[in-house]
Chain A
Amino acid sequence: MKTAHPAGPESGPPGLSTPSAAPTLQERGRALRQACRQVFGIPDYDRYLAHQAEHHPGEPLLSRREFYAQSIERKYGKGGPRCC
């Protein structure tokens, strides 16, 4: 099975990965928070955990602190072009 197809489970709106039931208020809140994080480019530890659980189960996980440190370094380490 090709998980990388565009219609794969990760391509839906964030946080709605369980297609069985209508989203609860809590799930909607989580989706909104995730969307905000992505808009502002904030590292999303929850998304990382979900991704690892789905694609690389059993592999060692970064702690929240390590994940944050690595994400910030990757995003800003080379400065990144900033617009005028």
Chain B
Amino acid sequence: MLVWPVVAIVGAFAFAALALGRGEHVSAVWLVTAALSVYFIAYRFYSKYIAERVLQLDDARPTPAVRHNDGMDYVPTNKWVLYGHHFAAIAGAGPLVGPVLAAQMGFLPGTLWILAGVVVAGAVQDFIVLFASVRRDGKSLGEMIKMELGPVPGSLALVGVLAIMIIILAVLSLVVVKALTSSPWGLFTIAATIPIALFMGVYMRLIRPGRVGEASAIGVVLLLASLYFGRAVAADPNWGPIFTLSGTQLAWALILYGAIAASLPVWLMLAPRDYLSTFLKIGTVIALAIGIYVVAPPLAMPAVTRFIDGTGPVFSGALFPFLFITIACGAVSGFHALISSGTTPKMIERESHMRFIGFGGMLAESFVAVMALTAACVLDPGIYFAMNAPAAVIGTTAANAAQVISSWGFTITPDMITQTAQDIGENSILSRAGGAPTLAVGMAQILAQALGGKSVEAFWYHFAILFEALFILTAVDAGTRVGRFMIQDMLGHVYRPLGNTEFLPANVLGTVLCVGLWGYFLYQGVVDPLGGINTLWQLFGVGNQMLAGIALLLCTSVLVKMKRERYVWVTLVPTAWLLVTTLTAGIQKLFHPDPRIGFLSLARKFSDAAAQGNLLAPAKSIEEMQRVAFNNYLDAVVCGAFVLLVIAMCFFAAKICLQALRQARPTAQEIPPMASAHGAPA
């Protein structure tokens, strides 16, 4: 085929443009094109190798969808349709936030890790977990670990998943808090999604049952209306202040929202909001891809900045290992192992489709991460650092921020900062770490150039915030429910009635515990002296990559148990890399002597100062100092637990693999190839 050499040449040309264009601004089109070429080539050659040689996919084996075809959950689904469905399920806020934070090191380190990571680790993990689940009747990750590695690792993995979920809910909520603090326009449009979702829920349930399309069309129109009127609301002398909340107020509002939303019937708010957010998500991703090619904006961020040495203002820690845990989703995301063993395996029509859906689906998510990185890097670097550096470093005025940031070598004037804020219809852009606002400004600049010009930049900005906040709030709602079920499941082992999900007091207890846990971390992040994201995002990154490590350990064990050990490097190489980076990062987060990196040294710094009666900013009392110290000890415990968990899983997997190697026959517990149709009509 002639097309593959052409793709290779285009890719090489794009990389050359990136490599040779130093000192002048390179067009973002080269970055995106280089990424696409890597994806096509990896898909064509590497995924084919995995599908045919390593996994030996076999279309003669009936999939769970075919065996159990019930017209509802188990449905053999057209491969393109399922690709869209799977992508919508795996794409969340993760690939949008991590790359934006990592942009402080320049556009090149992040891009290279996203591309190498997805091909070697992320897509391989998604593909092989999907394969393992399809061969086990659509079982979940936890069940498969129990089946293949044993009951103890299975329970350990479940505890790990719950811990990671709590941290994810906290950090996603923190992203929303950072985006909406003192932003009445943003908060009004987000708040408006609640009555809109309730209306849609009632419409689909009672007025026109099951008419999701109609309700969604009305919902989208109402959303756009709220976006339009948000500007007037924000400017109104009476309504403006009502929607202007501080960080701690927003944190409490989100905690309350989480508790109530997760207790409502699912049809009332969760389902309609999920439809809205899925429409917006897919629409916006496509619009951004088109926008980048139409506008072809130059990359303003240098290829590599001096912050690879670990002194960056957005997050602390050197390129190795912290780049590799800051960008999780987009390169490799452990959470995908839960989706790839969730609804998707129940809809796979033929085994050979898994290559496109598992491997190819992850490539699309990686592309979203590359676009997010691009959007952050087309911003003026001065603006990028003004938005992402904490107030403790750059102060709270435009003049002060401009002076500090210019001293780093990124020249910027106070006027540029205030002008940017004005363009997007906000009072201030300073210290809005968390990814969402930065991405929104980048997207607004790209989309406004493509459509509408400077005058509509403020609308695009708030549209981008709406789009991110909408699916984060959906994740908070759904995640709190999952967390509640997991907590109740665990409590049920201690005292049986607490595990009964039909028992209202037990449900309330489960919900309160779940919301309380993530709410605690959220609140702590909001009042954190270093801006919260610095702590929580890295804790999340460590947890998520460790989950990926666990999933890849499962994949490795499955391959060995299938007696395919000669191909085991396919999963062993990414497993080893993830273990090295996350264990190094985890241990540095624990024990690093620099208090900006190590939890324990920061805790000690605050507790020592408190003991001597010295106040350290931004704490205003000795009690606050002690709270900062306590929170950091707590973070250290969570981080330490992740490290121990992954070491334990390594041990279990190694034991199982050694056992399997001694066996002459495959010992993997797959459904036999000719299993008869279950419940098929005679």
Contacts and interface: CB of A to CB of B under 8 A. Distances in A.
Interface of A: 2-6, 8, 10-11, 13-14, 33, 35, 37-43, 45, 47-48, 50-52, 55-56, 63-65, 67-69, 71-84
B69 A38 contact: no
Given A38-B82, A52-B71, A80 B677 contact: no
B672 interface: no
Task: Pick the most buried of B92, B270, B329: most chain A CB atoms within 10 A of its CB.
Answer: B270
B237 interface: no
Nearest to A64: B210
A60 to B, nearest CB: 15
Nearest to A49: B71
Contacts, number: 166
A77 to B, nearest CB: 6
B62 A81 contact: no
Interface in B463-495: 474-475, 478-485
Contacts of B482: 78-82
A84 B92 contact: yes
B478 A79 contact: yes
18 contacts: A4-B680, A6-B66, A6-B349, A11-B66, A38-B84, A39-B84, A41-B85, A42-B213, A48-B72, A55-B69, A55-B71, A65-B205, A72-B267, A80-B342, A81-B342, A83-B89, A83-B94, A84-B93
A40 B89 CA distance: 9
Contact of A68 (B60, B204, B484): B204
A10 B72 CA distance: 13
Interface string B202-239: 00110001101100000000000000000000000000
Where chain A touches its partner, the secondary structure class is helix
Contacts of B262: 79
Contacts of B275: 40, 42
B210 A45 contact: yes
Given A35-B81, A65-B205, A75-B266, 6 more contacts: A14-B81, A35-B78, A38-B77, A42-B275, A43-B212, A81-B482
Nearest to B164: A84
Given A40-B279, A72-B267, A80-B342, A3 B680 contact: yes
A76 B210 contact: no
Nearest to B682: A1
Contact of A75 (B210, B271, B329): B271
Interface string B344-380: 0000011000000000000000000000000000000
Contacts of A2: 677, 680
Interface of B: 59-60, 62-63, 66-67, 69-73, 75-78, 80-82, 84-85, 88-94, 168, 172, 204-205, 209-210, 212-213, 262, 266-267, 270-271, 274-275, 278-279, 282, 328-329, 333, 335-336, 338-339, 342-343, 349-350, 474-475, 478-485, 540, 544, 677, 680-681
A69 B267 contact: yes
B342 to A, nearest CB: 6
Task: Pick the most buried of A35, A43, A78, A82: most chain B CB atoms within 10 A of its CB.
Answer: A82
Nearest to B66: A4
Contacts of A71: 72
B217 to A, nearest CB: 12
Contacts of A69: 205, 209, 267
Task: Pick the most buried of B60, B62, B71, B76: most chain A CB atoms within 10 A of its CB.
Answer: B71
A6 B209 CA distance: 33
Contact of A8 (B59, B66, B282): B66
Contacts of A74: 72-73
Nearest to B680: A4
A50 to B, nearest CB: 8
